């Protein structure tokens, strides 16, 4: 089965650690790892984050995160 590519990378605090969450275009989970990893810096190089993780479009995808964590989160739209 073909997996959809990651379209968004959300950097958010989770359990006291900065976490990078990958989501497809439809905001379905596509991966999760430590935000300090080298892969994250490569993926977001040259991209500007948005502070949109608290908007309604992210409600279902980030339902397990607190409102304050979502407000502080950075959302990157990846070039795919």
The string of pLDDT tens digits covering residues 19-73 is 999 999 999 999 999 999 999 999 999 999 999 999 999 999 999 999 999 999 9
With respect to residue 1, please indicate whether it lies within any of the assigned structural domains.
Answer: no
- The total number of structural domains in the chain stands at 1
Q: Which domain holds residue 43?
A: 8-77
With respect to residue 3, please indicate whether it lies within any of the assigned structural domains.
Answer: no
With respect to residue 73, please indicate whether it lies within any of the assigned structural domains.
Answer: yes
Give CA–CA dist 48/63, Å, rounded: 24
With respect to residue 66, please indicate whether it lies within any of the assigned structural domains.
Answer: yes
The string of pLDDT tens digits covering residues 65-76 is 999 999 999 999
């Amino acid at each position: 089965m073909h997996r959809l590519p990651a379209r968004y990378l959300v950097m958010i605090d989770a359990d006291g650690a900065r976490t990078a969450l990958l989501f497809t275009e439809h905001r379905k989970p596509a991966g999760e790892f430590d935000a300090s990893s080298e892969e994250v810096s490569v993926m977001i190089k040259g991209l500007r984050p948005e502070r949109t993780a608290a908007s309604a479009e992210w409600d279902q995808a980030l339902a397990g995160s607190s409102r304050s964590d979502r407000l502080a989160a950075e959302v990157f739209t990846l070039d795919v």
